[in-house]
Structure 1
């Protein structure tokens, strides 16, 4: 039951049918009052569809980029349904009121379901009903495993004893130097890490989208399944993967920069790196490390790669933006983070750094959804700049996907396969 898909198969289709039936009952009241309700509901739904991005981006400044058209459509449907439901309960019998409430709830569930189909935030019933994130096991390092700078790739040091099982665990990583307060990090520990003679493994640091948190890579991104797939292809070997939090809250946005908001760059490059090296037992040779992310995290990855190529010479940018942003209004972003100092902000953006420096020892993997032209355009611009700056890059477009978790779930394993020679999983 927990594997029941919420984004494909019979359930979303069944919900759509139920929603159509519910909408029919809401429209079938008849009379002058019903006509007025329908007209008001339709007008508000249309206004919602066409004005929502203006409200979200310009009036309330809630997001740095527009909501996709499909998402706006289903939000507009939800607004219309709610108005219809309220109108159906006015001056009606008790039975009609109960019917209106039930139909409204059903129709709103359908709208929410379709928004989830777009974003793939909850791919299965099990992920929707998953236990609280605090129930995840606390991180426990492999016995007597101490970090060390390995000159040779892990594939040459591995004897193939993959009798262990992968684990998902969690631990706080304190902002000792940065002073930043982050939510606990989530860890993927591959089968080889838990075996009787574990090798010192490379590290992959991941960042989720915004709004969101580290658990999203596990719940929505299916991290354990994806990494187990990679490990199965490489005799039990996969990177120790640490999903970290550079934002501090669900709606926080530090842009992965040291700014007036927080020292997020210092947190990621000093506190996180030092804690992993001191506590996890890994290959501390950064030639074998990579930094990756989805959406906000993808933008963060190219920032880390351009600002700190010595730490993260390999990166994975999945549906990242052209540059970091807090607001759709760039001037507002600069004002909030750098007291209006545009030069200080520009100096830290990936495109500026790629135009100024050469990165001949850096490799990057870029991906975007085929139904998301804006992000695909950004991917093309940034990946071209990266290539012109000397990086070895590849790109992938995922057909039929917008700005959804379908992009990282389709591309994380190909990205790691692309980086496998760099990280030491193949020769």
Structure 2
């Protein structure tokens, strides 16, 4: 049974309940002072607390999508791949469709009516990185009258560690985009949904690590080229946006600021503005101060030419730790007089899915207004 299986969660909860009842029932019998009675009480308490802790952890993982599998949880994820082209001219497809499904809540299974979600493997030609992802194709993509139409694209990133499935099943990006398009509040748009961790289990913070994974190049170059080779999308940055929450929000802002020739707009939901260095990241910069400075968005705004791109940031007055930094970032962007900045500031809201679900609809509308359809 998988880590995110409902059966695993129910089993853990049943075990916790049985141990709790057992502790209450057996406690009077273990009231003695001998070593067996004391050991029994200690064992019951530890067992019950461990079972409750595991149940709460499994429930939290189900709700927030931190880890997708047992291997992911224990740092044994082996999703990174190396591309070897065997056909002349590099004819292998950079995107492999693994499975297809309908949009959650859709009444029809016909893609031209309800759109489609494709589970894919994306391969980076230059970085030799590969990663799983989900691609939402709107109903209009499959309609005969739009056979020559090219669609705008928004890349959507999770936080760290995060799972791409959470963007579909927990944050409801495809169903939200479809509903907004039907209401005329946004244009039909392709969503490419994945996590920023392209070299699991390492948190690369979307950095080109010296001698290591070239994560920034993957998102700025390889991802775009792979999607353009497989789907009907435009090559110009005016048709491309990138968004994300938490780590994904930081990555989205940074990539758009560093590569305005790739993305015309970026949205960071509860982002931070400087790459951390911790046990999950390892040494990202190998002593290269220029690379470290470049990963600081405040330093970028102050020392590098202002990028011609549109940015959106979100925070909450109560519940988010990035509120003060977000206000500083807004002011720093305004001072450039070149980069455009918008914001969503909630009265209250924590760093969680519930908060982001409140921000996603207006964010998608904002993104749609800034991308050009052809």
TM score, norm. by length of structure 1: 0.63
The question of whether the paired residues in 1 share the 8 Å contact of 2:27 and 2:41 is answered with no
C-alpha distance in structure 2 between counterparts of 1:421 and 1:84, whole Å: 65
C-alpha distance in structure 2 between counterparts of 1:120 and 1:246, whole Å: 16
Deviations 1:123-145 (A, max 9, x none): xxxxxxxxxx9996259xxxxxx
The question of whether the paired residues in 2 share the 8 Å contact of 1:137 and 1:169 is answered with yes
- Give the direction of change, closer, same or farther, for the CA distance of 1:26–1:233 in structure 2 (3 Å limit): farther
Work out whether 1:404 is the aligned partner of 2:355: no
- Structure 1 residues 19-418: aligned runs within 5 Å: 25=24, 29=28, 31=31, 86-88=42-44, 107-108=52-53, 111-112=56-57, 115=60, 120-121=64-65, 137=99, 163-179=112-128, 181-198=129-146, 199-234=149-184, 237-260=187-210, 261-327=212-278, 336-359=283-306, 361-390=308-337, 391-418=339-366
Deviations 1:29-76 (A, max 9, x none): 573669xx99xxxxxxxxxxxxxxxxxxxxxxxxxxxxxxxxxxxxxx
Q: Which residue of 2 aligns with 1:74?
A: none
Deviations 1:144-191 (A, max 9, x none): xxxxxxxxxxxxxxxxxx953221102222121112x22222101112
TM score, norm. by length of structure 2: 0.71
1:28 CA drift (Å):
5.5
Please state whether the residue corresponding to 1:218 is helix, strand or coil: helix
Number of residue-to-residue matches in the alignment: 320
Deviations 1:367-410 (A, max 9, x none): 13555332223322333322222332222234553221223222
Q: What are structure 2's unaligned runs of at least 5 residues?
A: 1-5, 67-78, 80-95, 102-110
The question of whether the paired residues in 1 share the 8 Å contact of 2:151 and 2:234 is answered with yes
Deviations 1:3-40 (A, max 9, x none): xxx9xxxx9xx99xx79x76983896573669xx99xx
The question of whether the paired residues in 2 share the 8 Å contact of 1:192 and 1:237 is answered with no
C-alpha distance in structure 2 between counterparts of 1:213 and 1:195, whole Å: 31
1:231 CA drift (Å):
1.9
Determine which structure has the larger helix proportion and give its number. Answer: 1
Determine which structure has the larger strand proportion and give its number. Answer: 2
The question of whether the paired residues in 2 share the 8 Å contact of 1:202 and 1:240 is answered with yes
- Give the direction of change, closer, same or farther, for the CA distance of 1:25–1:113 in structure 2 (3 Å limit): farther
- Give the direction of change, closer, same or farther, for the CA distance of 1:88–1:235 in structure 2 (3 Å limit): closer
Please state whether the residue corresponding to 1:374 is helix, strand or coil: coil
1:345 CA drift (Å):
1.4
C-alpha distance in structure 2 between counterparts of 1:319 and 1:252, whole Å: 21
C-alpha distance in structure 2 between counterparts of 1:231 and 1:187, whole Å: 17
- Give the direction of change, closer, same or farther, for the CA distance of 1:253–1:108 in structure 2 (3 Å limit): closer
The question of whether the paired residues in 1 share the 8 Å contact of 2:301 and 2:336 is answered with yes
The question of whether the paired residues in 2 share the 8 Å contact of 1:368 and 1:407 is answered with no
Please state whether the residue corresponding to 2:283 is helix, strand or coil: helix
- Give the direction of change, closer, same or farther, for the CA distance of 1:356–1:121 in structure 2 (3 Å limit): same
After the TM superposition, which of the residue ranges 297-306 and 254-263 deviates more from structure 2?
254-263
The question of whether the paired residues in 1 share the 8 Å contact of 2:177 and 2:364 is answered with no
The question of whether the paired residues in 2 share the 8 Å contact of 1:202 and 1:283 is answered with yes
Please state whether the residue corresponding to 2:244 is helix, strand or coil: strand
